Amino acid sequence: MLYTALLIDIVAIVITGKLFQASKSTRVFEVISQIFAALIVIMMGKLEVSYINLGNLNLIELGYLTIPFTLLLLISLSNVMNVEKVQNNSILLLPFVSFICFSLSAFFTGDPFVLNTGICACLTIIMILLLGYFSGKVIVGRTLTTLIGFVIAVLSTSLILASMAAIYIPIFTLALPLTVHNYLQDILPSKQSTTVSSLTAMLFGVLLFIIPSNFLWILLVGFMILLAIMQIPRKYRFI
């Protein structure tokens, strides 16, 4: 049922994005569609985070907070790749790295849903990149990035049941490289900034499977501090 729920959500997000892309209240309708999509996955797909696995058999039961926490997690991660304007197609290399990391994690943890969905997402991104390359058109827009963000949110939520470390995948392979990309856009040409951000995503994608999760917390705190500092000068403000 989770496959069916995800397919329904994908269609709903695409239709909503196309219907309201010219509206001044596009952002409002996007959030509403994400809430309904998240509820469909929770109710129909039975995707719930009822506990948090901290490792070493340490579990935190959420109880009545299960659905609110799952809903908050899905909506938060759905916006990890939102863009305000059309981007170069090569920016899809960032979620491509993320989906590879999801597939590898699912392979090691034995999650067939995440593994199959991650592989399908990788193949879809390859097809979009090839289509954009041969047609010369820029395909990446807000609807596509919102859709990618929601799929990433569903995969992250599914993997969190096995390990809380799954939350690091969208942060270090997508959110951090996008921050680097947005920062470098005013300094370097578009292709160079995309190359640097893609290399950043691949570097952290490798580190996720090498360094301990405790050290990742230090990297996460450092990233948040750096992000906060970057918002002080107006020149480099992008949030």
pLDDT tens for 85-133 read 556 788 888 899 999 999 998 888 888 999 999 999 999 999 988 888 7
pLDDT of residue 57: 60
DSSP for 135-185, please give it. Answer: H------HHHHHHHHHHHHHHHHHHHTT-GGGGHHHIIIIIHHHHHHHHHT
Q: Which residue has the higher pLDDT, 37 or 21?
A: 37
Amino acid at 161: L
- Let me know: does 78 contact 146? Beta carbons within 8 Å: yes
The predicted model scores a pTM of 0.84
DSSP for 73-128, please give it. Answer: HHHHHHTTT--SS---GGGGHHHHHHHHHHHHHHHHHT-HHHHHHHHHHHHHHHHH
User: Considering the chain, what is the average pLDDT of its residues?
Assistant: 79
Domain that holds residue 60: 2-236
Number of domains making up the chain:
1
CA distance 168 to 83: 21
10 Å Cβ neighbour count for 157?
24
- Let me know: does 17 contact 142? Beta carbons within 8 Å: yes
Strand partners, 60: 52
10 Å Cβ neighbour count for 198?
20
pLDDT digits (tens, 9 = 90+) for 40-78: 888 888 888 877 766 666 667 777 888 888 888 888 888
CA distance 221 to 73: 19
